[in-house]
Amino acid sequence: MSGAALSLAAFSYPASAGDRYGQRPPVVLSPDLTAPWVLQLGGQAAPRGGIVYRTQPRAVRQAATQPRMQRAEPRRVTNVSLAAPRVKPKPVSQIDPRFLPQTVSYTGSEKPGTIIINTSERHLYYVMGNGQARRYGVGVGKEGHAWSGTEKISRKAEWPDWRPPAEMIKRVREKEGRILPVHMAGGPENPLGARALYLGSTLYRIHGTNQPWTIGKAVSSGCIRMRNEDVTELYEHAKVGAKVIVM
């Protein structure tokens, strides 16, 4: 076959698949949404308004568009406890049975409703009448803070606020190094406990406590302490204006 025939044959047969896509035609996006959205024009000029994108081999496009994969680090699992934090246990209440409430005989002359506090015995008596009294264990004033006298209940309060007097704040700071609050709202942590019966115009009260293990001891600054359940019972019976005898 002549050289001219060989040359003609070379241009007559289609190129191989590799040669055919070695140089890819541009991809044209049609501006008209009614026409096919992608037109491969085989090297023709893009129609007016068309946008020509030169395509790249798929492997190159994926490498350019996909984020570089990084070696995943092994996940570290930490055990998280959802349990409530531990609360420091308070001292267990150890009260001598003789300081628990009980009904006893009463042969005195005071009328029913009167409250008698024997600080040496650490007992409070609520006169009931019919020769009986309700007796409770109490905590009393420590040495230097004990007192005696007769007062009346001037008012009563449930879960009272606590406002320690200035002299108490100063004394506790100097002797114990503790800083008392100027004011503390009523509640279970309040030193005055669940109830308070105020005595005349003094700073003294018959009140509950958040330290029931101190009942039967001389530990207060002059107030009369009772267990919360006991002072709540007394609160229901004692009236404002009732006589209180401290001896």
**Quick one: pLDDT at residue 173?**
86
- Whether 7 has a pLDDT exceeding 90, the answer reads no
For residues 204-210, give the mean pLDDT.
96
**Quick one: pLDDT at residue 150?**
98
Let me know if residue 195 belongs to a domain. yes
- Same domain, residue pair 168 and 217: yes
**Quick one: pLDDT at residue 244?**
98
Let me know if residue 161 belongs to a domain. yes
- Average pLDDT in the chain: 77
Q: In the β-sheet with 51-53, what is the strand arrangement from edge to edge?
A: 38-40, 27-29, 51-53
The least confident of 100-114, 125-139, 156-170 is 156-170
- Same domain, residue pair 160 and 230: yes
Let me know if residue 155 belongs to a domain. yes
The pTM of the full predicted model, rounded to 2 decimals, is 0.61
Q: Annotated catalytic residue: which of 123, 145, 183, 223?
A: 223
Q: What is the DSSP letter of 226?
A: -
Relative to beta strand 224-225, strand 205-207 is parallel
> Which residue range forms the structural domain that includes residue 26?
16-63
- Same domain, residue pair 34 and 103: no
pLDDT top residue among 9 and 216: 216
Q: Annotated catalytic residue: which of 123, 145, 183, 207?
A: 207
- Same domain, residue pair 103 and 26: no
Nearest partner of 207 among 185, 229, 189, 223, judged by Cα = 223
Per the structure, how many domains does the chain have?
A: 2
Q: Which amino acid is at 37?
A: W
Q: Which amino acid is at 63?
A: A
**Quick one: pLDDT at residue 73?**
57
- Same domain, residue pair 121 and 49: no
- Same domain, residue pair 22 and 137: no
The least confident of 38-52, 66-80, 161-175 is 38-52
Q: In the β-sheet with 224-225, what is the strand arrangement from edge to edge?
A: 102-105, 132-137, 123-129, 115-118, 243-246, 149-158, 195-199, 205-207, 224-225
Q: How far is CA 122 from CA 214, 217, 224, 237, in A?
A: 11, 7, 9, 20
Let me know: does 226 contact 209? Beta carbons within 8 Å: yes
- Same domain, residue pair 125 and 59: no
Let me know if residue 1 belongs to a domain. no
**Quick one: pLDDT at residue 28?**
53
For residues 2-23, give the mean pLDDT.
45
- Same domain, residue pair 193 and 236: yes
**Quick one: pLDDT at residue 9?**
41
Q: What are 162's two structure tokens?
A: 């606590």
- Same domain, residue pair 128 and 211: yes
Q: Provide the CATH number for the domain around residue 206.
A: 2.40.440.10
Let me know if residue 69 belongs to a domain. no
Let me know if residue 81 belongs to a domain. no
- Same domain, residue pair 119 and 51: no
**Quick one: pLDDT at residue 212?**
95
Let me know if residue 22 belongs to a domain. yes
The least confident of 45-59, 92-106, 231-245 is 45-59
- Same domain, residue pair 150 and 57: no
Let me know if residue 70 belongs to a domain. no
**Quick one: pLDDT at residue 181?**
84
**Where residue 192 falls among pLDDT bands split at 50, 70, 90?**
very high
- Same domain, residue pair 33 and 116: no
* 223 is a catalytic site residue: yes
